[in-house]
Amino acid sequence: MNANPKHALLAGIGCLLLSAPAVQAEKADRDKPVNIEADRVSVDDVKKLQTFEGNVQLAKGTLVIRAERILVQQDDDGYQRGIASAGTTLANFRQKREGLDEYIEGEAERIEHDARSEKTEFFGRARVKSGLDEVRGQFISYDARSEQYVVTSGPNGTRAPGNSRERVRAVIQPRNKDGAGTPPAPAGTALKGTQDIGKPTQEKTK
């Protein structure tokens, strides 16, 4: 979301679409193996499904997902799809940006990551941050190939009910005059690691 993001807030449906040319995930991650740590694992070889439970950490190159429970299913071509579920804290996502010493970071009640499509979806109390830019909503979809975010005020890409106070919220920092990038963060305000992301403030979903 850092390079002249085009954004449209559709007030009628509470949906925000951000085009993010500079927000590109680390390309080398595509060819890295998946490493997972957990307290317990169960395997279903027939369905090619693995269930990891208890302080789970999934790493694939610079991509790291932390959650209480992660289901990983592999298709016939070897691509993995992971579904991370929150426990006492929200599930967390972190991945390095291509060519930069910065990370895309997110959190939600549930995170689904598809290695084939390179799409990550955040469900429930969702937040994604890149550099100094940030979006919040009940649903966020990030497509690493098209480099776009879709954020909605309701669950699963829907509009929140008319009597709901849920809204999409975004903070988009101004660009420098030369277009070289966003202003540097003041001292002491460096981006937190994923494990340090706090629980976002948000109204209860109706």
Range picked from 1-5, 31-35, 193-197 for highest mean pLDDT: 31-35
What pTM, to 2 d.p., does this model score?
Answer: 0.72
User: What distance in Å separates the CA atoms of residue 122 and residue 151, rounded to the nearest whole number?
Assistant: 9
Task: Read off the tokens for 180.
Answer: 């070289």
| Residue 125, helix vs strand vs coil | strand
**pLDDT tens-digit readout, 5-52:** 333 333 333 455 554 434 455 667 777 888 899 999 999 999 899 999
Q: Are 21 and 3 in contact (CB under 8 A)?
A: yes
| CA–CA gap between residue 99 and residue 193 (Å, rounded) | 19
Complete domains list, the chain, with CATH:
6-177 (2.60.450.10)
